[in-house]
Amino acid sequence: MLHTRTPHRAKRHRGVIWRIAVALLALCFAAASCTSTNDDAGDSAATPDGEAVTATTAAASGGRERPTADEYTDDMADDDSDEGATGALGGAAAEEDIEAAVSGESDDMAEEEMSDGGVRLESVGGSSQGGGLSQSAEPEPEPYEPSQGRRPAEPDNFVDYGVNPFVDTADDPFSTFALDVDTASYTVARNFIDGGQLPPFEAVRVEEFVNYFDGGYPDEIDEFTISVDAAPSPFADNGDLLLRVGVQAPHVVSDALRPDSIILVLDSSGSMGEQIGTGNDRSRRIELVYDAVDLLLEGLEPETRVGVVAYEDHARTVARPAAVGRNHDDLIRRIRRDVRPGGSTNVADGLVTGYRMAESEASRGRHVLVLLFSDGVANVGATQTDRILRQLGERDDIGLSTIGVGLGPFNDELMEQLANRADGSYHYIDNHDEAWRLLGGDVTSFVSVAARDAKVQVIFNPDTVAAYRLIGFENRDVADRDFRNDAVDAGEVAIGQSATALYELTLVDPDSRSRRSNETLAKVTLRYERPASERITELSATIRPSDTHRSFDDADRHFRLAAVAAEFAEVLRESWFVDDPSMRRLRTEAEAVARDFRGNSDVAELARLIGSAQRLQ
């Protein structure tokens, strides 16, 4: 199916590359014309302008393929059957239509007759970031060449999850994803930049840049809150809106789960003896682990039981579980004495041994968290994520969180996927300040669980939103039909944590914010399980055009901070949708936000990193 309006447009690229790409494209069309003289009339139609733009931007990308909605669909085989159908979420019945769309009355999200005029909305249970847009074949991309100042990912292991496309709202108004509270990608990128190199684009995950910073959301007792706001973005096309969806976990929760036992699994392989940090903050990786563990133990409740496993070629028990209150000093002495770098890295054996210890604790009715400290470089035993997870099995009463340490070599993929698929979170510490930020003081927000399998579904109104793009969350996609399928794994959120998702919206009428104030832009629904009671809870919020800020400068300072962090990540990962890869406008906005957060060292550091990255380009 060919659409005359393609909302998921490519952004502008540098002039020289553009002209070269256009010239190459013209040659390709000329060659195609020469070979098509014997084709029948149906095959000789001219290529639409939209395809020409697609091919040109693919050539200008430096080797990364331009994202299309087709790449993100699960079950879209029948999506072209109603080419003339349009959405009906809007008009006078906007709220009722959106409510009906998420009511879950049809398990397969089948087509639904809408009350206003009988127009049919085809709501397909495919990937939430991909609708039924049909795209012509793109040219074969050239091999990726890192930009100047950017080192290849090796010897570190990162995965490129791509960049979400724009989705035509009339084709798929649903966007569904698992919540993510990880922050590792930001600190990994900071480590690269402070070391004088831009990070590999595969190392950058936008949502982890945004989630590193406090969202400034309201906090209620014993209940999550949803905050939705929007403003024009200085980093998007004129008329486009940036939509922020924020979820805040309460600091006081009646049925949260706090672990009764924590099993530390510590990497003591030879690579943990390598240096980490820059300048005066350089130390061996293992020494940073010692300090991080000390901070963790100090912040735990005295009755929390802690056991320790270390591994290199093989795993060994360093300390059997015991209450930390009376054993803190002895545990630290034992770890510093017995956990010394040397040998290979058998992550699987370390985790299996740690899980056996955790299972013994869980069999006594205790809730257990396994906490892995590692550079993730598994070079013996089971070395792939899937194989390690199969060895471990699945336990609802045992969670796994990971803390990465060190780069070169570092296996980011293993550490992230272990946490994502084992009901935990993934973080990275590159210096002692970051260890304190994560584990210093009250560690409740790190080790506890306020929500299990938390996921968000956003339904956009086709009458007001022409197209949308979820910025980030590429590897946290949930099929639309699985939003209420509680057997599908999603994200875990701890007490007091927040998560933010950003969307770029192309409006049907960019001037509609004042005139069509009663129509809905989007409805946001959060679904999660309260862990102690296992009760499923849903919360919803809506946003209308009249609720949006008239300018970026008028928006809340936390909104502007999230936008700056997201755009920084977009530039670093060489996203298709970046207008200004030189970061001039970004640096200006970052410095303005830093002034609004005067005294906040994290925001000041973000502005500094943007300046450093700009000089490394």
DSSP 198-263: BPPGGG--HHHHHHTS------BTTB-EEEEEEEE-TTS-TT-EEEEEEEE--SS-TT-B--SEEE
pLDDT of 348 strictly over 70: yes
What's the confidence (pLDDT) of residue 254? 86
Who has greater pLDDT, 496 or 77? 496
The answer to whether 450 and 249 have CB atoms below 8 angstroms apart is: yes
Ordered by where they begin, the domains of the chain are: 79-253+450-616 (2.60.40.1230), 261-443 (3.40.50.410)
Ranking 48-62, 176-190, 543-557 by mean pLDDT, the lowest is 48-62
Encoding tokens for residue 378?
């598994």
Which H/E stretch holds residue 499? strand 498-507
Who has greater pLDDT, 269 or 276? 269
Ranking 50-59, 201-210, 478-487, 573-582 by mean pLDDT, the lowest is 50-59
Question: Helices 584-596 & 601-616, crossing angle to 10 degrees?
Answer: 170
Encoding tokens for residue 122?
């085809």
How far apart, in whole angstroms, are the C-alpha atoms of residue 485 and residue 492?
A: 16
* pLDDT averaged over every residue in the chain: 77
What's the confidence (pLDDT) of residue 408? 66
Q: Which residue has the tokens 């210096």?
A: 431
Encoding tokens for residue 70?
């087709």
On the question of a cis peptide bond just before residue 218, with omega within 30 degrees of 0, the verdict is no
- Using the Cα atoms of residue 282, residue 286, residue 291 and residue 293 in order, give the sign of their dihedral: positive
Per 3-state DSSP, the chain is made up of helix, strand and coil in percentages (nearest 5) of 35, 20, 45
pLDDT of 456 strictly over 50: yes
What's the confidence (pLDDT) of residue 383? 63
pLDDT of 106 strictly over 50: no
pLDDT of 262 strictly over 60: yes
The answer to whether 65 and 439 have CB atoms below 8 angstroms apart is: no
Cβ atoms within 10 Å of 540's Cβ, excluding its own: 15
What's the confidence (pLDDT) of residue 303? 95
Ranking 197-206, 428-437, 438-447, 496-505 by mean pLDDT, the lowest is 438-447
Q: Which pLDDT band, with edges at 50, 70 and 90, does 379 fall under?
A: low
Mean pLDDT of 314-323: 95
pLDDT of 305 strictly over 90: yes
pLDDT of 231 strictly over 90: yes
How far apart, in whole angstroms, are the C-alpha atoms of residue 142 and residue 289?
A: 41
How far apart, in whole angstroms, are the C-alpha atoms of residue 606 and residue 590?
A: 7
Strands 283-284 and 275-276: antiparallel
Helix, strand, or coil (residue 432): helix
Tell me the H-state helices in 473-556.
512-515
Whole-structure pTM value: 0.76
Q: Which residue has the tokens 């970046």?
A: 578
How far apart, in whole angstroms, are the C-alpha atoms of residue 373 and residue 290?
A: 10
pLDDT digits (tens, 9 = 90+) for 143-191: 333 344 454 445 678 889 999 999 999 999 999 999 999 999 999 999 8
Q: Give the rounded percent of residues in the chain with a pLDDT score beyond 90.
A: 51
What's the confidence (pLDDT) of residue 560? 98
Q: By CB neighbour count within 10 A (0-12 exposed, 13-18 middle, 19+ buried), where does 376 fall?
A: buried
